[in-house]
Amino acid sequence: MSVPHRVAVLALDGVVALDLGTPAQVLGAARADDRTPLYAVATCTPGGLPIRSSAGFQVLPDHGLELLGSADTVIVPGIHAGSPLSDGTVPVEVAGALRAAYDRGARVMSICTGAFVLAAAGLLDGRRATTHWAYASRFRHLHPGVRLDPDVLFVDDGRVLTSAGVAAGIDLCLHVVRTDHGSAVANRAARRCVVPPWRDGGQAQYIERPVPRGADNGTAATREWARQRLHEPVALREMAAHARMSVRTFTRHFRSETGLSPAQWLLQQRTEHARVLLETTDLSVDRIARDAGFGTAAALRQHFHTRVGVAPTAYRRTFRRSPAPRSAAPRSASARSASVDLGGVAPGRPDVSELSTATTA
C-alpha cells in the first residue's frame, strides 16, 4: 500500500474558518479505486499553541511547525488579522519553516489571504500569484515584487500555488487532486463534497451572479442537452432555440450563470470529455477527436495542448489507469454530463475565433 501524500495546514491567528477546513475536506475526499486515502492532512500552528479563528472559536492543533519538516505539501489558509495583513511581515520562525519546506522540495500553497503569508516569507517574489480581490490593493502596496493577478480563481506556478478568496480554495484543492491523480479521482472527490468538479483557474473571481432564474427559463437544461451532443457540431442559434431565447438573451444569461461564453463552455466540456477518454479507453486520438467534437486529431492536439499543457498522448501516458477494451461502449450521456475541464490555468480562456469548426457555437 502506498503512503498517502502528507499535507500540513499551517494555521495562524485570525485564520479563516472555511479556508482552514477546506484542505482536509477536499483532499480527504480523494480516494484511490480501492478507497484508500490519497492524502493525509494535519494542522499545525506556531508552537502548537491554540489560535483564534475569524468565526469566533479557537483552534487547538495537534502539531507545531515541525510538521512542515516532513510535509509533501504545505497549505496556508487565509487570515483576517495580524502582521501579514497590517505590515507584510510574519514571525521569523514561520518564514523560516516555510522557506525550509520549499527548499527541500515541498509544494507550497495558499488560500485567500494566505498569499500575504507566503509573500512575507519571500516565496512569491517575482512569481505570478493571486489573492482575494478585495485585498489586491493592500497586497500590491506591501509586496510590489509579486506579479499579482486578482482576476482569477487560482494560479499554478509550479511548486507554489495561490488561490483567490473563500470557495476558490476548493477549486485549487480539486485542481491539485486532478493534477496529481487525474480527472476521475478529482471528479469523485468533488461529488463527495457536493461541489462542481471544475471551475477554470482563469475564471474571473467576481462574476455577476443575479438572483437565480427558475429552472424552466435558465440555461441549465440547454447545457445538459449540449453535453449529450458533444460529438456533433452545436451552433449558438441551436442552443438559444432549445432554451427558447433569442441569441442575445441566451448569451447574456449563459455567461451570467457560467462565467463563460457558450463557445468557451463547449470547448471546456469537449476538452474534459477527451481527457476522460484518454484516461479510461484505448480509443485512438483520431477517434477521441471525433467523439469529443473536435473533428480532427490536429484540432484536438492544438486545443488540448493549449488548455492542459501537454499533448494528448503524453497525457494518456501520465494518467492512464486500467486499460479498457477497444470495444468498450462510448460513455453514456449521464457520464459525460458529470465531466468538466481542468482548463489551462496559465493560458487565458480561448476566444471564439480559436475554436475549430466543430466547436464553434
| pLDDT tens digits, one per residue of 257-297 | 887 899 999 998 999 899 889 988 899 999 999 999 999 99
Q: Which residue has the cell 438573451?
A: 249
Can you give the pLDDT at residue 202?
56
Q: Report strand pairing: 39-44 vs 5-10.
A: parallel
Contact 196, 54 (CB under 8 A): no
Give the integer Cα–Cα distance in Å for 137 and 68: 30
Strand partners, 40: 6
State the chain's mean pLDDT as an integer: 84
Confidence label for 209 from pLDDT (cuts 50, 70 and 90): very low
| Residue 255: C-alpha distances to residues 154, 207, 303 (Å) | 20, 9, 21
Give the integer Cα–Cα distance in Å for 225 and 140: 44
pLDDT tens for each residue of 158-207: 999 999 988 999 999 999 999 999 888 998 999 999 887 766 555 556 54
Can you give the pLDDT at residue 201?
55
326-331 CB contacts, 8 Å cutoff, 24+ apart = 326/281, 326/282, 326/283, 328/281, 328/282, 330/291, 331/273, 331/276, 331/277
pLDDT tens for each residue of 35-91: 999 999 999 999 999 999 999 999 999 999 999 999 999 999 999 999 999 999 999
Residue 266 falls in which region: left (phi positive, over 0), alpha (psi -120 to 50) or beta? alpha
Question: Could you tell me which of 5, 223, 183, 11 has the C-alpha nearest to residue 97?
Answer: 11
Confidence label for 137 from pLDDT (cuts 50, 70 and 90): very high
Can you give the pLDDT at residue 95?
98
Q: Diameter of the chain by CA atoms?
A: 62
| 349 contacts: CB under 8 Å, gap ≥ 6 | 200, 202, 203, 260, 264, 343
Mean pLDDT, rounded, for 13-26: 96
Between 353 and 331, the more confident residue is 331
In this prediction the pTM is 0.70
